[in-house]
């Protein structure tokens, strides 16, 4: 599996994999497939071209995109030491082979190189696989936001996690 940064040229594959993740795991993401599939391909291209965001992909030997994750930077003077990990998804046929971890390692290395000090993310309560992945990569929980999202009328809390890049290696 190759891990590399995605560019606007990857928009079609990125959009397809993201929509698959949103469709297969409605509880895991704040975005919904119903809203995102109405967005044009150009919205994905713009996202991949944005200076505030960077995305990485995990690709198999045939160049098939099977995993994605993004870094969403803050831009204001008071919080631009911080960025959010967004849109982590690994297709089931590639899961359990270290893709999620490798994607996060690429993201964390880039964040460190840029001088970012703090990474934050949220995981839906009950998503044990994702929480275990983040903990394995050094993230720690700092609280649960009750009823953070509602999916088909059911409310789910969100576990807020952080990684202090000044302390961890
Ligand atoms: C969560 C997810 C990204 C994990 O990706 P992955 O490529 O399978 O993860 P890895 O193989 O790199 O596993 C790394 C660690 O994560 C944890 N983990 C991964 N899958 C797990 C599972 N099914 N159960 C428990 N722990 C799991 C383990 O700690 C694992 O380390 P180990 O192999 O040494 O035990 C993937 O299952 C996924 O996309 N899930 C659906 C979408 C989602 O929940 N996204 C996260 C939104 S916050």
Which pTM value belongs to this model?
Answer: 0.96
Give me ligand 1 centre to Cα 77, in Å: 34
Q: How far is the CA of 78 from the centre of ligand 1 (A)?
A: 33
CA pair distance 81, 119, nearest whole angstrom: 9
Residues 6+ apart with CB under 8 A from 5: 54, 55, 56, 57, 106
User: Which CATH number fits the domain 2-164, given the four candidates 3.40.630.30, 3.20.20.70, 3.50.50.60, 3.40.50.1980?
Assistant: 3.40.630.30
Q: What's the confidence (pLDDT) of residue 13?
A: 98
Q: Domain extents for the chain? A: 2-164
What value does the mean pLDDT of the chain take?
97
* Contact 87 CB / ligand 1 (< 6 Å): no
- Hey, whose CA ends up nearest to atom 19 of ligand 1? 129
Q: What is the pLDDT of residue 9?
A: 97
State whether the beta carbon of 123 lies less than 6 angstroms from ligand 1: yes
Distance (Å, whole) CA 8 – CA 91: 21
3-state secondary structure of 145: strand
Per-residue model confidence (pLDDT) at position 169: 60
Confidence (pLDDT) at 167? 79
Which secondary structure element, helix H or strand E, spans residue 142, and what is its range?
Answer: strand 140-151
Sign of the C-alpha dihedral computed for residues 40, 8, 71 and 62 taken in this order: positive
The pLDDT of residue 140: 97
Regions of the chain where pLDDT drops below 50: none
Our mutation pick for probing the ligand 1 site, out of 24, 72, 132, 133, counting the most ligand atoms within 8 A of Cβ, is 133
Q: With a 6 A CB cut-off, is 88 part of the ligand 1 pocket? A: yes
């Amino acid at each position: 599996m190759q891990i590399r940064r995605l560019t606007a040229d990857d928009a079609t594959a990125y959009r397809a994999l993201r929509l698959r993740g949103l469709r297969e795991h409605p509880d895991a993401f704040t975005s919904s497939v119903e809203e995102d599939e109405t967005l044009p391909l150009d919205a994905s291209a713009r996202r991949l071209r944005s200076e505030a965001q960077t995305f990485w992909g995990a690709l198999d030997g045939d160049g098939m995109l099977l995993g994605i994750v993004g870094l969403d930077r803050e831009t204001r003077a008071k919080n631009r030491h911080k960025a959010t990990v967004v849109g982590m998804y690994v297709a089931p046929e590639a899961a359990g082979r270290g893709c999620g971890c490798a994607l996060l390692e690429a993201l964390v290395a880039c964040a460190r190189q840029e001088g970012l000090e703090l990474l934050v993310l949220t995981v839906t309560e009950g998503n044990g696989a994702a929480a275990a992945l983040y903990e394995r990569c050094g993230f720690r929980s700092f609280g649960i936001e009750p009823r953070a999202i509602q999916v088909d009328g059911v409310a789910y809390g969100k576990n807020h996690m952080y990684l202090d890049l000044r302390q961890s290696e």
